[in-house]
């Protein structure tokens, strides 16, 4: 039995197993993409149905292999990535195909593509990096949100009667400001309000400058923060090694002096 687990572990960690999973996902993703082209949808109908079942079965087998490779069954759920895999496979196992949720079920199949993250270790690493980067921007996102909030409330107060309806309420104003933030036809929004309030350009120009200034500094803060981490790891290793050597040197020289001093007496 022990031997059997070792074999399964070997399969799980082998490159061909992860490559096989990757290939199946990519092939499946391509078929899903082609299906949306009107001209090929009809003939693919049956083929896709069969492929769907095969992929589902493969995913279940893969999941079982990964579970069986663990020494204890519950260890499998200790990794966030395993839980992620498990949930995606479970969702696509639900028998919704013929229910009233059929359309949603078809849509959910797309998320199988997310399993590429677990199949390719390099993508896993990038996602882990992105997740690690979140705390260093969370406060700047709050700051950006406060700026959006104040401008949105002000906008929905002052510009409430605009015929375009871009300032009807707080939520719509937030969306309009997000649009202004991406510079998307922001002058159209401004010229409309300037017809009623000629000084409203101060509202838009100040928002763009403040939001961009914050965003700009967010960028710099994140870059510098990441670099500090990097330097803390790299540099300290090297310099501290030198520091230790110098400490040893100092100790040696001092002992030497002691000996010489003793001889002198």
Output the six-digit token pair for 167.
């300032």
Q: How far is the CB of 169 from a second copy (least distance, A)?
A: 5
Q: Given the complex with a second copy, which of 78 and 245 has the nearer CB atom?
A: 245
- Cβ proximity to a second copy, 77 vs 178, nearer residue: 178
Q: Does 51 bind a second copy (CB under 8 A)?
A: no
Binding to a second copy (CB under 8 A) within 88-127 occurs at 103, 106-107, 110-111, 113-114, 116-117, 120, 122-123, 125-127
Q: Quick check: 222 binds a second copy (CB under 8 A)?
A: yes
How far, in Å, are 31, 229, 241 from residue 234 at the CA level? 45, 9, 11
Q: Which of residues 1, 50, 74, 260 is near a second copy by CB under 8 A?
A: 260
Binding to a second copy (CB under 8 A) within 139-168 occurs at: 139-140, 142-143, 146, 149-150, 152-154, 156-158, 160, 168
**CB-wise, 69 or 174, nearer to a second copy?**
174
Shortest Cβ distance from residue 220 to a second copy (Å)?
A: 6
Binding residue for a second copy (CB under 8 A) from 92, 170, 177, 200?
170
Nearest-approach distance from CB 240 to a second copy, in angstroms: 8
Least distance to a second copy, CB of residue 40, Å = 9
Nearer to a second copy, 9 or 106 (CB): 106
Tell whether residue 248 is a contact of a second copy (CB under 8 A). Answer: yes
Q: Based on the shown chain and the rule CB under 8 A, indicate whether residue 173 belongs to the binding site for a second copy.
A: yes
């Amino acid at each position: 039995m022990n031997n059997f687990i070792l074999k399964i572990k070997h399969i799980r960690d082998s490159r061909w197993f992860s490559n096989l999973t990757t290939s199946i996902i990519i092939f499946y993703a391509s078929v899903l993409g082609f299906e949306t082209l009107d001209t090929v949808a009809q003939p693919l109908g049956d083929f896709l149905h069969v492929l769907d079942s095969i992929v589902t079965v493969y995913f279940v087998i893969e999941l079982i292999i990964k579970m069986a490779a663990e020494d204890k069954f519950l260890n499998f759920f200790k990794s966030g990535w395993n839980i992620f895999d498990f949930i995606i496979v479970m969702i696509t196992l639900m028998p919704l195909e013929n229910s009233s949720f059929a359309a949603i079920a078809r849509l959910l199949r797309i998320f199988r593509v997310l399993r590429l993250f677990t199949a390719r270790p390099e993508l896993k690493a990038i996602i882990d990096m992105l997740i690690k980067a979140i705390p260093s921007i969370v406060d700047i996102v709050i700051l950006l949100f406060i700026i959006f909030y104040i401008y949105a409330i002000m906008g929905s107060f002052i510009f409430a009667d605009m015929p375009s309806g871009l300032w009807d309420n707080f939520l719509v104003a937030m969306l309009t400001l997000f649009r202004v933030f991406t510079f998307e036809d922001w002058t159209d929004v401004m010229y409309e309000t300037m017809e009623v309030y000629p000084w409203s350009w101060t509202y838009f120009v100040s928002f763009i400058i403040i939001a961009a200034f914050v965003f700009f500094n967010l960028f710099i803060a994140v870059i510098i923060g990441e670099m500090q981490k990097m330097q803390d790891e790299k540099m300290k290793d090297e310099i501290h090694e030198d520091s230790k050597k110098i400490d040893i040197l100092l100790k040696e020289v001092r002992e030497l002096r002691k000996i010489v001093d003793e001889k002198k007496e």
